[in-house]
Amino acid sequence: MSAALSLGPVLYNWPAEELRDFYFRIADEAPLGRVYLGEVVCSKRTPFFARYLSEVAARLKSAGKEVVYSTLALIMSEAEMDAVRTLAQSPDILIEANDIGSAALLADRAHVIGPFVNVYNEGTLDYLARSGASLVSLPWELPAPAIAALAKSAAIPLEVQIFGRIPLAISARCYHARQCGLHKDGCQYVCAEDPDGLTVETLDGEDFLAVNGTQTLTHTIGALMPELEELRGMGIENFRLWPQAIDMVAVAQIFRDVLEGRTETQEAWQNLAGIADFAPFSNGFYHGEEGVSLKR
């Protein structure tokens, strides 16, 4: 069985035209099997890209890529849930649920369970698979033994995140707005100024976290590459890259080459570090340690 690489939804507030052009290039050039589209973090951002969504989806599909429509991680109003209901009126699209309410709405059809849904054990995985999930993208917190146990019991394919800043938390409060002395309702979309998130340092000047509107992420870039062989040994064949504001076509190519044995891991790791140079790598969650740590 060959490994499948996917591109997760863009978590940040990129200008709509840039996002469109980003996806056009992904469609034309990136060796990816599946691309997730849609806003996951803040419903206020949704309208801007809506006018390009069908055009982008068509371009990706005609390039042979499967398109999955991602939905919000934290749904707090009927208006936000209505957006999921509207999407679900199209019978032939695949939707990723990132809130259990969305998963419930999609239970009568095939759907993806996103990494923002708490799937920590076999009981939950089994329940969701029997409720129509065709793929579960696992939470980032899971260490290797948990992934192995889930893979062993899974009746459906599982996906593991292998690249990108790791989402750590979601809130009703917008930290980007708060940092600028603004309220969420009058946020002026200040999150758009930070295409990879706003760096959060400690008072000692050490890089720590990144803020993306209502979301908090790692400052480090999660990266699993030497671990791919072990993951494939467990039966994991779906791997997700989170988009960052760097050359994601090149990032996808690096991982593709490693998965197909065309590049040695050590060389690929150095190539990756040359492109993803805005923060150090981490892999602690996978190794059961502090998420920030990097085990070599």
Partner 1 sequence: MTTPPDKIAALELICPAGNPAALEAAVAAGADVVYAGFADATNARNFPGLNFTRDEMAAGIDHAHRHGCGVYIAVNTYPEAGNAGPWRRAVEDAATLGADAIILADIGLLQYAAETRPDLRRHLSVQASASNRAAIEFYQRAFGVKRVVLPRVLTLAEIAELNQSLPVETEVFAFGGMCVMAEGRCTLSAYATGQSPNCNGVCSPASHVRYERRGGDTVSRLGDFTLNIFSEGEAAGYPTLCKGRFVAGDSASYLFDEPSSLNVLEMLPELAAAGVRALKIEGRQRGRAYVSRVVSAFRQAVDGSAQSGALDDMTEGARNTAGAYQKSWH
The 3 state secondary structure assigned to 28-59 is HHCCCCEEEECCCCCHHHHHHHHHHHHHHHHH
216 binds partner 1 (CB under 8 A): yes
CA distance 11 to 167: 9
| Contact with partner 1 (CB under 8 A) among 70, 161, 218, 244 | 218
> What SS3 class is residue 235?
coil
| Contact with partner 1 (CB under 8 A) among 51, 173, 262, 295 | 173
Stretch that binds partner 1, among 2-10, 43-51, 58-66, 99-107 (CB under 8 A): 99-107
Half-sphere exposure of 129 (CA within 13 A, CB side): 19
Element (H, E) at 295: none
286 binds partner 1 (CB under 8 A): no
Shortest Cβ 172–partner 1 spacing (Å): 4
Residue with tokens 């064949």: 237
Contact string 185-214 vs partner 1 (x = CB under 8 A): x------------xxxxxxxxx-xx-x---
| Contact with partner 1 (CB under 8 A) among 81, 93, 246, 249 | 81
Inter-helix orientation angle 122-130/144-153, to 10° = 40
Shortest Cβ 16–partner 1 spacing (Å): 24
| Contact with partner 1 (CB under 8 A) among 16, 246, 289, 294 | 289
265 binds partner 1 (CB under 8 A): no
Stretch that binds partner 1, among 26-34, 42-50, 183-191, 236-244 (CB under 8 A): 183-191
Which CB atom, from 146 or from 241, has the smaller least distance to partner 1?
Answer: 146
**Binding residues for partner 1, how many (CB under 8 A)?**
70
142 binds partner 1 (CB under 8 A): yes
CA distance 112 to 27: 21
Shortest Cβ 260–partner 1 spacing (Å): 29
Shortest Cβ 23–partner 1 spacing (Å): 27
Name residues contacting partner 1, limited to 120-139 (CB under 8 A).
120-128
Best CA proximity match to 236, nearest among 113, 137, 151: 151
- H helices of 91-136, in order, are 100-105, 122-130
- The residue count of the chain comes to 296
Half-sphere exposure of 164 (CA within 13 A, CB side): 29
Shortest Cβ 143–partner 1 spacing (Å): 9
110 binds partner 1 (CB under 8 A): no
108 binds partner 1 (CB under 8 A): no
223 binds partner 1 (CB under 8 A): no
CA distances (Å), 271 to each of 22, 46, 247, 256, 281, in order? Answer: 21, 34, 12, 13, 13
CA distance 269 to 281: 10
CA distances (Å), 221 to each of 163, 184, 242, 243, 279, in order? Answer: 7, 27, 10, 11, 6
Q: Which residues bind partner 1 (CB under 8 A)?
A: 73-78, 80-81, 99-105, 116, 118, 120-128, 140-142, 145-147, 149-150, 166, 168-175, 178-180, 183-185, 198-206, 208-209, 211, 216, 218, 284-285, 288-292
